[in-house]
Structure 1
Amino acid sequence: MEQILDRLNRFSGVEEKAKLAFAESLELVQVERGDLLEKMDSVCSHLYFVIEGSLRSFYFKDNKDITVSFALEGEFTTSMYSFISRQPGYENIEAMESSSVGKISHARLLELFEKHPSLERAYRIILEHYYIALEEQLIFTKFKSARDRYLSLMETRPRIIHKASVGQIASFLDMSIETLSRIRGKI
């Protein structure tokens, strides 16, 4: 609970009782490597907070596993499109290792917003961070070289390099494993 309170303290204007209500509403779950928290073609009903471990979001295209995002300790994740729209999602959320995760249902989150409006501000900031990360990923794949994408990942989120497989990193950076291996060999 301490870790989620620390994370919520980064959002100014969230009342103490709202932070506690949110933290107490999280259901703690243990997942093992390869466990799916969310499955494609299902409506995503939970927002997740990684307490310990790591998760990744991915989908399949032409029988190929495409990594969309990573969530490490202290970060939130969900199938954002599905969670917000209440429509079936296109991605899976998988544990990359044994992980401890807090989850809160969409319905419970809405209840908390009614009782504690200051939580909506924190949620908006979480959504803004998600949008920025998504836009950066899009820009990186369109305008940066493969080498620059890898260097940027090393600079901004180095823990991913130690947690994810080479294939997952290559997929996330929109390059082949061979290209990633060449880049890593020259750095």
Structure 2
Amino acid sequence: MEKILGMFDQFPKLSEEAKTAFTSNVELLTFERGDLLEQEGKVCSHLYYVKDGSARSFYNKDNKDVTVSFTLEGEFVTSMSSFISRKPSYENIEAMERSTFARISYDTLLGLFEMHSELERAYRLILEQYYIMLEEQLIFAKFKSAKDRYLDLMEFRPKVIQKASVGQIASYLDMSIETLSRIRGKI
């Protein structure tokens, strides 16, 4: 349970009462490698916190899966557009290894916001982090060379390189496996 409480480290102003209310409403689940936490075509009803392990988000396009993000221990993950809009998701979220997640449902979270407004502020900060990540990823993909994208991944998210397959990394970096192999061979 101590590791779950670590999710609040980035929100130091949360009261113990709010933390307790939140943690008493989360469900701990273990997923095996390849298991789907959320599936395209369904409404995403949970916000997840990676207690141990990792996950990736991807969608299917022309019979290929396209990786859009990686989530590591200590980070939150959900299909944000579906979670907020309550519309079916276009993405899948899968465990990249045997992983333990704490999850809370959308409805439970809204109820907690009513009782603890400070949790709503923490959620807003999660949304802000998500938005910043998306904007950086857009800039990353549009304005950086393939080599620079890989070097940035090595510098800022080295655990992804250890946990993800070459194909998943290539897909995330928007390059072919061959291009990624050439870049890795030159570094």
Q: TM-score range by the shorter chain?
A: over 0.9
The match for 2:87 is 87
Structure 2 counterpart of 1:34, one-letter code: G
> Following the alignment from structure 1 to structure 2, what is the Cα–Cα distance between the partners of residues 10 and 62?
39
Counterpart Cα distance in 1 of 2:14 and 2:183: 44
Partner of 1:64: 64
Q: Tell me the equivalent position of 1:15.
A: 15
Between stretches 1-10 and 16-25, larger displacement belongs to: 1-10
Unmatched 5+ residue regions in structure 2? Answer: none
| Structure 1 position 35, deviation (Å) | 0.5
Show the counterpart of 1:121.
Answer: 121
- Tell me how many residue pairs correspond in the alignment: 187
2:169 corresponds to 1:178: no
Partners of 1:98 and 1:5 in 2: CA distance: 21
Q: Which position in structure 2 is the counterpart of 1:47? A: 47
CA positional deviation for 1:163: 0.4
Shift of 1:68: 0.7
- Once superposed, which parts of structure 1, at least 4 consecutive aligned residues long, lie more than 3 Å away? none
Query: Which has the higher mean CA deviation after the structures are superposed, 4-13 or 75-84?
Result: 4-13
Alpha-carbon deviation of 1:14?
1.4
1:9 Cα offset (Å)? 2.7
The residue aligned with 1:5 is: 5
Q: Any gaps of 5 or more consecutive residues in structure 1?
A: none
Query: Using the alignment, how far apart are the partners of 1:3 and 1:173 within structure 2?
Result: 31
Q: Which residue of 2 aligns with 1:78?
A: 78
CA–CA distance in 1 between the matches of 2:23 and 2:179? 43
Matched, 1:30 2:30: yes
Cα deviation for residue 12 of structure 1 reads: 3.2
1:147 corresponds to: 147
**Aligned-pair CA distance for 1:16:** 1.3
Residue type at the aligned position of 1:78: T
2:174 & 2:23 partners in 1: Cα distance? 36
Length-normalised TM-score, structure 2: 0.98
The more displaced of 33-42 and 4-13 is 4-13
